Amino acid sequence: MTTPLAGIRVLDLTNVLAGPFACHQLVHLGAEVIKVEAVGRGDLARNLGSDPALNEAGMGISFLAQNAGKKSVSLNLKDPRGKDLLFQLVETADVLVENFRPGVMDRLGLDYPTLKAIKPSLIYCAISGFGQDGPWVGRPAYDQIIQGASGLMSITGDATSAPLRVGSPVADTVGGLTAAMAISAALNARPRGCMIDVSMLESVLATMGWVLSNHLIGGQEPAANGNENPTSAPSGTFQTGEGLLNIAANKDEQWAMLCQHLGREDLLAHPNYRTREDRKANRHALRTALETTLRTKSALVWEAELNALGIPSGAVLTVPQVLQSDHLQSRDFLEDFPSPDGVDRAIRVVSTGLKINGTRPKVETPPPALGADEAEIWGGLGLDAATLDRLRKDGVL
């Protein structure tokens, strides 16, 4: 059950993050994912990351992060022989994923109607910044561009720092997750075969549910609230004696228990804090009042005490702190591989955010070197060694 997509072949014609991240989910769920990369250079992510030596070797950290378990072939899609090989691969595939700018696959003669004629049951998923049509269809799309265009940056930060970019590539990854969800659903359809148009812009907007709903239904202008939860108080980030602490005392009974545990029963009777709306209207004064007591202990101590009482709390951690936590270590979240081809060290990467029947889906092979699986894949189509050598000399492979 940890490989529900076993037997599914996915052609991954994607670059950098949104598309590779979508296929990262699929390969962890058991699909065979074949990266079809540009001859000589491959996925642009092969040259991206914080380690220049790995970038030079074509195994950049940005590539290593979401390509474990996949196979790699290289193909010149501008050469008729390269297109013919892709057509042959499509006949064997269940899914094709691409994240070229809209119109590129049409110009290459590899559009959905063409591929559908070859394989009617093909699930074709196109991931783009703004979708396959509309006035913005021709705009270039990178994560930060989408963050800005979606309004997400306008509500990130506070009144003095917004608009602010979210610290991780959330538009790319949400777009990738949307694509993986849609592909998984399409694989369940009978008969199979469809064209999926994933817009990163719309994927991000779909995750901003309450912000959009409060505007669309309630007429509320979206605002940057920093670390404060605009729906309740006290609900936000508080300074302690050591470190920051998130508290979400959203229920009245949690508010009462918090005051009692902090020895601040006086706040319960204060006219500014009697109701949820009162507390929301006076949240900044309330935070200051609570912090006078919270500063007497560390965030980790308060986290343990408050959670034990049923008051949702959590210390604000750094990325290294959460990766090194006992909890994450116990959840088998990370994957380790000995030195992949082109990499001078063992690597550790993330898997996926789920377990199936208590087991984490994992892959068996590290991220592939460019073209590492050509003998297997092209050999499976009947190409012999002499043919492969000729195609390599001609720049087709």
Q: What is the DSSP letter of 70?
A: -
Is the distance from CB of 364 to CB of 69 less than 8 angstroms?
yes
SS (H, E, C) 198-251: EEHHHHHHHHCHHHHHHHHCCCCCCCCCCCCCCCCCCEEEEECCECEEEEECCC
Contacts of 319 (CB under 8 A, 6+ apart): none
143 catalytic? Reply is no
DSSP-based three-state secondary structure for 72: strand
Among 43, 94, 172, 197, the active-site one is 172
Element (H, E) at 178: helix 170-187
Nearest to 184 by CA among 196, 201, 169: 196
DSSP-based three-state secondary structure for 263: coil
Nearest-10 crossing angle of helices 200-207, 170-187: 100
Is the distance from CB of 98 to CB of 13 less than 8 angstroms?
yes
Question: Among all residues, which ones are annotated catalytic?
Answer: 172
